[in-house]
Amino acid sequence: MGGSQDAWIRVPVGDGAERWVTRGRLHTVLLVVHNVTSATRLLDVLGLFDGDERVQVLATCTGSSAFTAGLDEMFAAAGVPVLPWDQALATPVDLAVSASFGGELPGIPGKLAILSHGVGYAKKLATPDTGHRTPDTGRPAAGLAGAPVFGLDPAWLLHEGRPFADALVLSHPEQLDRLHTTCPEAAGTAVLAGDPCFDRILAHRPLRARYRRALGVGTGQRLILLNSTWGTGSLAGDEHDLLPALLPRLATELPLDEYRLAAVLHPNIWYGHGPGQVRAWLDRAVRAGLTLIDPVDGWRQALIAADTVIGDHGSVSFYAAALGIPVLLGAGPLDAIDPRSPSAAFVREAPMLDLHAPLRPQLDGLRPPPTGPAHCTTSMPGESAARLRRLFHALMGLPEPAHPATLRRLPLPSYEPAEPTAPQRVFVRITAPGQVTVTRYADPVDEPEGEGEVFTAVHEDTRDLGSLDQAGLVFRAGPADDPRLGPPARWTAEVLERLPHCGLAVYTDAPHSAVARTREGALLRIGAEAPDHTAAPTRSEPHDRADADPVAYGCALYAWLAAGKAVDDLVAHGLRVRLGTRSHAVSVARVSFAG
């Protein structure tokens, strides 16, 4: 970004900086940020300079992208000094690292290394010297059949006929082969150094179970991750309106207790349209249980946790396939991809979503993808940290530190289980004495398929206030001592008094149990029984209470009461509730207060 010299920083670089610094004999590394997408890839390698007291890291933004929102927050989180772009072009540095080609990169006074901000180089983009727009500001999917490949064409790689980057980092020899064809002049700058983003994913795969728990994925549940790159031809784009058509169908066809839904949207969607606008567009899906994943800090962890990905031609879908995760493509415009690239081969071979056919069989029938993406993502898995640090220090003319080169750990996501507030259609069947099967669908657009008696369960905080009058069961969660609600005994009584058609009110006041009040006034505590750790585990039986779902237990209790059966039978013998493949042993006890 430009601006007057009044905005230039004075420390740790700038006029008279030597008067103010504490450490002055430093080698400077400049992170050249194009937009949030490229910034995330620079953050992948930022940890390579950790522990090196000889290096000062700086950052700047070229101002050449249409997507500059969100950068101030990222710079603040990184905690590095930020130079205005004009000052960056006037300040000699020992090394500049970019993950894009936007801006006046040839004017940077220092050694320059360029990383990819996706899986290799596969996307086609119009080039600046043909009168088109700069990278990431044009439409990547429309009318680009003859456009060159971003990052492998002379228009991106040469300045006045010569390569301007000192190192073009590639992750696989196939990229070098294509570079020799498209821009042989730049082939001498290519360095095979792996993929630091993918290496961070690979290193954290052992934490898959932890990430799944963070997302509230229970035993036996499948996590379906929806992923979209940016642009009108993407899964979230309006060229085919796939995502708006897909989300209601998923809510109607996938039982709430057997599937969890999460979505990873490209940073250019988040920051181009605004996070608030994206949340508004997806509000109904979120109220039905969809989790929106942070596009900067959370997408890798969500990908590791996923069982299936519904995506498009973007990098996340390719990474998923490289991890062996089944991928169903909703969009895959081949005219936007280099036909010689592994990405194009993946799009040609991957199964395509059929919105005219039932969705659940398509998801359940998916198989792991072919091995192509795994082989072509990086030719040196796990080696990028060592190779990139060696490259960076060689460009600076600085010996490497003695400690091993490592990439930063992925942060553990916050615990965010879904809390659907949309009305739920609940199918219940009493399958044996004291045994009830529960199948729930959150906010279905059509009547779901199912067996048994059907009723509606509604969260008290639903936006669809009219649904409360038709609810057979009303529920909410909260602490037992919330003064706004009163104790659970009071809240349940107030709900039944206010809603005369409601048969059961359920207040979850503990992770594993809830207080329920019947229309007849019985106050009951329902909860997951403590496991018998001496018993041999089975696939269908949870052996801790992490998967407890007191609202589902309330649905089973409602079915029992609606069938005219006695509460005392459950108090004496307990209740067994089946949710998908999981069977829960539930205790039922009478209480005279909310304890």
Q: Which CATH number, 1.10.3470, 3.30.1360, 3.30.360, 3.40.50, labels domain 23-195+380-396? A: 3.40.50
Q: What is the pLDDT, as a whole number, of residue 418?
A: 87
* Identity at 528, one-letter amino acid code: A
Is the pLDDT confidence value at 533 over 90?
Answer: no
The pTM for the full model equals: 0.92
Q: Could you say which architecture CATH assigns to the domain 208-370?
A: 3-Layer(aba) Sandwich (3.40)
Letter for the amino acid at 340?
R
**How confident is the model at residue 145, as a pLDDT?**
58
Give the confidence band of 507 by pLDDT, cuts at 50, 70, 90: very high
What pLDDT is attached to residue 543? 40
Among 412-421, 468-477, 574-583, the range scoring the smallest mean pLDDT is: 412-421
Mean pLDDT highest for which of 116-125, 144-153, 515-524? 515-524
- Please say whether the beta carbons of 230 and 118 come within 8 A: no
| HEC letters along 100-167 | CCCCCHHHCCCEEEECCCCCCCCEECCCHHHCCCCCCCCCCCCCCCCCCECCCCHHHHEECCEECCCE
Q: Cβ(372)–Cβ(120) under 8 Å?
A: no
Is 473 or 540 the better-scoring residue by pLDDT?
473
* Euclidean distance between CA atoms 209 and 333, whole angstroms: 34
| CB proximity list for 358: less than 8 A, separation 6 or greater | 253
Give residue-wise pLDDT tens across range 542-569.
Answer: 445 678 999 999 999 999 999 999 999 9
453-480 tens-digit pLDDT: 999 999 999 999 999 999 999 999 999 8
Instruction: Give CB contacts under 8 A, 24+ apart, made by 281-284.
Output: 282/247, 284/247, 284/248, 284/422, 284/443
Question: In degrees rounded to 5, what are phi and psi of residue 541?
Answer: -110, 115
Which residue, 346, 317, 320, 316, is CA-closest to 334?
346
Residue 268 in tokens: 């250019």
Query: Mean pLDDT of all residues in the chain?
Result: 91
Interval 155-184 mean pLDDT: 95
The amino acid sitting at 403 is H
Provide, rounded to the nearest whole percent, the portion of the chain with pLDDT above 70.
93
Distance CA 99, CA 38 (A): 5
Residues contacting 388, CB < 8 A, separation 6+: 45, 48, 169, 193, 194, 196, 405
For residue 105, pLDDT over 50 is answered with yes
- pLDDT, residue 2, reads 52
Model confidence at 131: pLDDT above 90: no
Tokens of 432: 């044996």
Closest CA to 257 of 79, 83, 509, 457: 457
Question: ∠192-196-198 over CA atoms, to 5°?
Answer: 110
Note whether 23-195+380-396 and 208-370 share their fold: yes
pLDDT of residue 319 exceeding 80, the answer is yes
> Quick one: CA dihedral 140, 143, 148, 149, positive or negative?
positive
Quick check: 488 and 480 in contact, CB under 8 A?
yes
Q: Is 20 left (phi over 0), alpha (psi -120 to 50) or beta?
A: alpha
**Pairing mode, if any, of strands 95-98 and 27-33?**
parallel
Q: Considering Cα of 251, then 256, then 258, then 263, what sign does the dihedral take?
A: positive
**Domains of the chain, residue spans:** 23-195+380-396, 208-370, 424-590
